[in-house]
Structure 1
Amino acid sequence: MIPPPDSLVRYETPALITRNADKRSPKARALKTSSQPPAAPGPVPPPPKPRSPCAAAEQAKQQTEEVLNSILPPREWVEDNQLWIQQVSCTPSTRMDVLHLQEELDLKLQQRQARETGICPVRRELYSQCFDELIREVTINCIERGMLLHRVRDEIRMTIAAYQTLYESSVAFGMRKALQAEQGKADMEKKIAELEEEKRELERQVNEQKAKCEAVEKREIERRQVEEKKHGEEVQFLKRTNQQLKAQLEGIIAPKK
């Protein structure tokens, strides 16, 4: 693992964690929860004495650290076969710290070239870190208010995760529909090609039939002309024959008168 990147959340100095308990740093030993030995049987102890202001402040600080660790868990990483851990800072923030946080947020947005509009993971990450830092600052001053902001943060993250899941499912649905449309488009193009080929074949058959009809009509016209010519010649022949017979008949009848 590599050391975690810089964050807008303020952290304490990293503490070295090793397997040898004697070599652990005081900060690392403070991270382990101390187990209290079981109470020995005996008479009931006297009521506890009222705590001093210093003890009450120390207890409040410890409670704040526990709440902060539950809201913003410590960061851990391995470097040179050594485990390092880093807790969030319990130091209260001033007005100048908040102004510096705003400047640092704007600077990181510019350095990492986050988009101003639309979906941008970089912008979302930086604003999430800024919100965590605000939760840390508020929790130090008021634990209850910090827990409420922590609840709001978790609800926002859950809502964003739900929207992301919905978006991914919608994208998958859109891809399936697009693939189906592409497949249907290919089938329709194939069918259109087949229909166009069938149309060309039918047009070819129609042209052939038209050519046959024109040829038949031409032959019939020629045959009719030949028949009319032949019929005309026969009529003329019959007329001449009739004239000849009529003349012969008149020649035969005329001497008898």
Structure 2
Amino acid sequence: MIPPNASLVKYDNPVLVSRNTDKKTPRARALKVSPTTPPGTGPVPNPPAKSKVSGLDAKSAQQTDEILNSILPPREWTENGQLWVQQVSSTPATRLDVVNLQEELDRRLQQRQARETGICPVRRELYSQCFDELIRQVTINCAERGLLLLRVRDEIRMTIAAYQTLYESSVAFGMRKALQAEQGKADMEKRISDLEDDKRKLEKDVNELKAKCEQIENRAKEQRQVEEKKHTEEIQFLKRTNQQLKTQLEGIIAPKK
């Protein structure tokens, strides 16, 4: 028999469940439980005989067992075509059981090298098992208190699941943003390279235009100097001509006096 993984929750001895194919009536039970000894293990001691209780106590005990099975379902596994079932124990816990539970929790935390801080699946699993065992112990003494603790446990698990989903969504969102950033970075680098090429081209055009402007200015300056020189020479020529004409005119007019 391959037993299930060890848990901090206290279970009864496993029993062999076999199919009953003899009864065909609609009310026939589909399963029958035979508390046989699992193969490969020692004899399983019979549970202590229970004293007779009143009908009310028996009904209350049955309800407690049903509540325990609903809170902590029985463990099942198959070996060699045989179905083995192990139900949670309904034995009340003592103070010594609680002390042993604490010691076992500390031992397994150390044995499985659970982290003391941060996110640790091992530590979460062991504390979840410890909480289930506490719920089992409380439910045996007070079923209502156990059901209330069950609500607390389910709420905690739902909250942790919500946080986990949120964390996974955040990680996925961060990865998408990182990929988009990488892709955007490549596009931006290409755009920067193109803009730098355009800048160099424009700077080249500006330098060429400046050179042309300087050539035009130099040509215009030379042309202006030539025109100014020509204009000065013309003025001097006209002044000389005017002086000569004035002298001639004075020479013509002077004898007549």
| TM value normalised by structure 1 | 0.67
**TM-aligned CA deviation for residue 195 of structure 1:** 1.5
Picking from 22, 35, 42, the partner of 1:27 is 35
The worse-fitting range, judged by mean Cα deviation, of 135-144 and 187-196 is 187-196
The answer on 1:55 being equivalent to 2:52 is yes
Larger RCO (CA under 8 A, 6+ residues apart):
1
Structure 1 residue runs without a partner (length 5+): 29-52, 235-257
1:77 partner letter: W
The answer (yes or no) to whether the contact 1:3–1:79 under 8 Å persists in 2 is no
**TM-aligned CA deviation for residue 216 of structure 1:** 5.0
The answer on 1:93 being equivalent to 2:93 is yes
Provide the secondary structure at the position in 1 that maps to 2:52.
Answer: helix
Could you tell me which residue of structure 2 aligns to residue 194 of structure 1?
194
Could you tell me which residue of structure 2 aligns to residue 245 of structure 1?
none
The answer (yes or no) to whether the contact 1:64–1:143 under 8 Å persists in 2 is yes
With over 3 angstroms needed to count, the CA separation of the structure-2 counterparts of 1:130 and 1:21, relative to structure 1, is: farther
**TM-aligned CA deviation for residue 64 of structure 1:** 2.6
Once the two structures are superposed, the pairs formed by residues 1-257 of structure 1 within 5 Å of their partners are 3-19=3-19, 26-27=34-35, 54-56=51-53, 59=58, 60-216=60-216
**TM-aligned CA deviation for residue 206 of structure 1:** 1.6
The worse-fitting range, judged by mean Cα deviation, of 167-176 and 90-99 is 167-176
- 1:35-92 CA deviation, whole Å, 9 max, x = no partner? xxxxxxxxxxxxxxxxxx9432671443332221111000111233322211111222
Could you tell me which residue of structure 2 aligns to residue 247 of structure 1?
none
With over 3 angstroms needed to count, the CA separation of the structure-2 counterparts of 1:215 and 1:82, relative to structure 1, is: farther
The answer (yes or no) to whether the contact 2:16–2:34 under 8 Å persists in 1 is no
- 1:187-236 CA deviation, whole Å, 9 max, x = no partner? 333322222221111111122223344455566677788999999999xx
1:204 partner letter: K
The worse-fitting range, judged by mean Cα deviation, of 200-209 and 183-192 is 183-192
- Cα distance in 1, alignment partners of residues 194 and 202 from structure 2: 12
1:76 partner letter: E
**TM-aligned CA deviation for residue 115 of structure 1:** 2.2
- 1:1-41 CA deviation, whole Å, 9 max, x = no partner? x743211111112222233679965338xxxxxxxxxxxxx
| TM value normalised by structure 2 | 0.67
- Cα distance in 2, alignment partners of residues 227 and 81 from structure 1: 121
- Cα distance in 2, alignment partners of residues 108 and 221 from structure 1: 99
Could you tell me which residue of structure 1 aligns to residue 237 of structure 2?
none
- Cα distance in 2, alignment partners of residues 173 and 217 from structure 1: 62
- Cα distance in 2, alignment partners of residues 81 and 233 from structure 1: 130
- Cα distance in 2, alignment partners of residues 232 and 64 from structure 1: 129
Query: Size of the alignment, in residue pairs?
Result: 231
Of Structure 1 and Structure 2, the greater helix share is in: 1
Structure 2 residue runs without a partner (length 5+): 23-30, 37-49, 235-257
**TM-aligned CA deviation for residue 121 of structure 1:** 2.0
RMSD: 4.0
Provide the secondary structure at the position in 2 that maps to 1:56.
Answer: coil
The answer (yes or no) to whether the contact 1:72–1:88 under 8 Å persists in 2 is yes
